[in-house]
Amino acid sequence: MSEHSTTSPQHPRAESLRIRERIVEYSQTGVVVLSGLIAHGRGEAFDYIIGEKTTECAKKAIRAAAAALLQAEHPVISVNGNAAALSAGDIARLAEVTGAALEVNLFHRLHGREEAVEKVLREAGARNILGVGEAASARIPEIQSDRRRVDPRGILIADVVLVPLEDGDRTVALVKMGKIVIAIDLNPLSRTAQYSTITIVDNIIRAMPALVTEAEILKKMSREDLRRIVSEYNNRKTLSEAIGFINERLSELAQNGIYLDWK
């Protein structure tokens, strides 16, 4: 995060504004694209509605996601511009704890962007980053965007793929290929959220460190026990709970119209 933040620490929404400053900063270095700023705004709106806290249903999804990554033969964490800007350090740590490979995979493969995202990951401590330049030589069928370009050592052969802040097309294609897809998406209504195997409806800022902690805890379990956690998990139920949570929260707020303490 910028050391030259213009946001006063006393501002009631300081944390959210500092995150916004960070994403704007990364857009100036080409890591985040303009549509990434729009995506962030959509995420912020949903975060406001859920109360900017990790919900109980998100915690359930985080546990299943950590188990899925740990029991996998070839787990891969797919990294785009927004994910790198917001969570590079935690992404590097999650890769280390779970043994997952990191692959840069961009919707907008503009000149120099893959390298820019790779640099952010390396500076955060990540090693062995797949999907950059010619390394993304394989293609996923059915996808029209640049996201179809994947690394044959990574997403192509992965059995479990974590896709933070994803677009729907690739999620559908990866699920069709028989992979377990884990999404982090604040919008429980998005195609990504709806089609993924495990959907964490939470801000990547909170979900990533929580995933690292959960993976550290579950790491002691046998593969069999980890697989049981994954098979007992029901994403349809978790999504219903996430939407139900939003419904109840809005109904409560609608009673008196107060969200913030204005005193």
Interaction between residue 106 and ligand PTJ (CB under 6 A) = yes
Interaction between residue 36 and ligand PTJ (CB under 6 A) = yes
Strands 75-79 and 180-184: unpaired
Nearer to ligand PTJ, 101 or 165 (CB): 165
Among 43, 75, 131, 188, binds ligand PTJ (CB under 6 A): 43
Interaction between residue 203 and ligand PTJ (CB under 6 A) = yes
Q: Collapsing DSSP states into helix, strand and coil, what is residue 101?
A: strand
Interaction between residue 231 and ligand PTJ (CB under 6 A) = no
Write down the least CB distance from residue 67 to ligand PTJ, Å: 21
Write down the least CB distance from residue 244 to ligand PTJ, Å: 18
Interaction between residue 187 and ligand PTJ (CB under 6 A) = yes
Nearer to ligand PTJ, 58 or 68 (CB): 58
**Sheet of strand 160-164, all strands in order from the earlier edge strand to the far edge:** 129-130, 101-104, 75-79, 160-164, 180-184, 198-200
Interaction between residue 46 and ligand PTJ (CB under 6 A) = yes
Interaction between residue 181 and ligand PTJ (CB under 6 A) = no
Beta bridge partners of 181: 161
Strands 149-150 and 160-164: unpaired
Distance CA 235, CA 185 (A): 13
Name the residue with tokens 């699920």.
Answer: 175
Among 108, 148, 227, 249, binds ligand PTJ (CB under 6 A): 108
Interaction between residue 40 and ligand PTJ (CB under 6 A) = yes
Interaction between residue 186 and ligand PTJ (CB under 6 A) = yes
Among 100, 204, 215, 218, binds ligand PTJ (CB under 6 A): 204
Q: Which residues contact 122 (CB under 8 A, 6 or more apart)?
A: 129
Beta carbons of 133 and 117 less than 8 angstroms apart: no
Torsion of CA 53, 47, 93, 164, to 10 degrees: 140
Distance CA 128, CA 235 (A): 31
Distance CA 141, CA 124 (A): 32
Interaction between residue 119 and ligand PTJ (CB under 6 A) = no
Write down the least CB distance from residue 202 to ligand PTJ, Å: 7
Q: Which residues bind ligand PTJ (CB under 6 A)?
A: 33, 35-36, 39-40, 42-43, 46, 80-82, 86, 106-108, 165-167, 184-187, 190, 203-205
